[in-house]
Amino acid sequence: MGPSGDGDGGRRGGPAKGGSGGGAGKAGGRTGAKGAPGQQGGGPRAQRSTGGRPTGGGGRPGQGGAPGKGGPGKGGGRRGAPARPREYDAQIEERNRSRHDKPQIKLPKTFGEVEGERLQKVLARAGMGSRRACEELIEQARVEVNGKIVLEHGLRVDPEKDEIKVDGLTVAAQSYLFFALNKPAGVVSSMEDPDGRQCLGDYVQNRDTRLFHVGRLDTETEGLILLTNHGELAHRLTHPRYGVKKTYLAAIQGPLPRDLGKRLKDGIKLEDGYARADHFRVVENTGKNYLVEVTLHEGRKHIVRRMLSEAGFPVDKLVRTWFGPIALGDQKSGWLRRMTNTEVGMLMKEVGL
């Protein structure tokens, strides 16, 4: 009996055998009227046929995938991808989660860049001179790092951690700023004033770095006040433990008794306890007008004015001329200047930095 069509062609949409595509070939992927498969014809060959691939020559491929009269076709078109089991999706999600939860790997130091900067570069950036001049400082054994004299140029240091000194004075190698301001009378000793009065912040408003003042001066007191972003230095300069001395010039009315200096040094009793001067001298005398110099290491509010007033000599004008080793000098009122490296080094030495 001649083959009229491939039996599997009826089931999977394979082509009908024998040129004309008759019989089950017309079903071409459709079931018969009752959804039954096409006539069996190829025997073992039909069993090897796969959906959508030709299994014999001469015939046209069936129109696979179209629904037949008896129901939907079972083959003809490409099979869809099998659905993934939920367990597989859960495994992928768990694997991704564990990948992102891994601790960060710390690379050994040998994998990173060389730590620190060359000493002469740090010194030059700190304002100690050109790089060549800083190399000469090293050659002259004038530079110390962490208490040891350095004689080699290539030493690398960490400006944030290592203590660097030149001629025994600490070098502020970090990104710190130090300013000295001659505060005019009427300026409030704060960086901002809610009442809109002129304050210290008005003199440094063009600075990107936040600065703060070291101690205070009364609003009507003039003279030297320091500004910095070095918190530890500012703290020590104002802490009673370090006893940093401040010197003032006070204009008062005479005549003055000879023992005024002794009384101030012995201590003047105030409402918040005794206050003592470390030094007192008359700088100038014109008739009844006296200009006296008072040095003390206390920082209580209005301390100089209260001491002289309690002694019987109210202050007409008060100017601070020294803060520790830093002098006001001939700096004009309202002028802000950057402190020198030597001045910064002396300040740090004063408080053990």
Omega before 240 within 30 of 0, i.e. cis:
no
* Residue of 19, 8, 80, 86 whose CA lies nearest to 46: 8
C-beta separation of 68 from 15 below 8 A: no
Relative to beta strand 164-166, strand 169-170 is antiparallel
Residue keyed to tokens 């491939």: 6
* Residue of 8, 158, 218, 259 marked catalytic: 218
Q: Name the strands in the sheet holding 164-166, side by side, starting at the edge strand that comes first in the sequence.
A: 148-149, 143-145, 164-166, 169-170
CA–chain centroid gap for 32, Å, is: 78
C-beta separation of 179 from 204 below 8 A: yes
> Helix %, strand %, coil % for the chain, to 5?
25, 20, 55
Q: How far is CA 31 from CA 17, 58, 177, 201, in A?
A: 16, 22, 91, 92
Q: How far is CA 114 from CA 106, 118, 175, 292, in A?
A: 16, 11, 21, 58
* Residue of 205, 230, 225 whose CA lies nearest to 215: 225
Give the type of residue at 196: G
d(CA 226, CA 209): 15
How many Cα neighbours within 13 Å face the side chain of 10?
A: 22
Active site residue 266: no
End-to-end CA separation in angstroms for the chain: 112
Q: What is the DSSP code string of 226-288?
A: EEES-HHHHHHHH-GGG---EEEEEEEES---TTHHHHHHH-EEETTEEE--SEEEEEEEETT
Provide the annotated active-site residues.
218
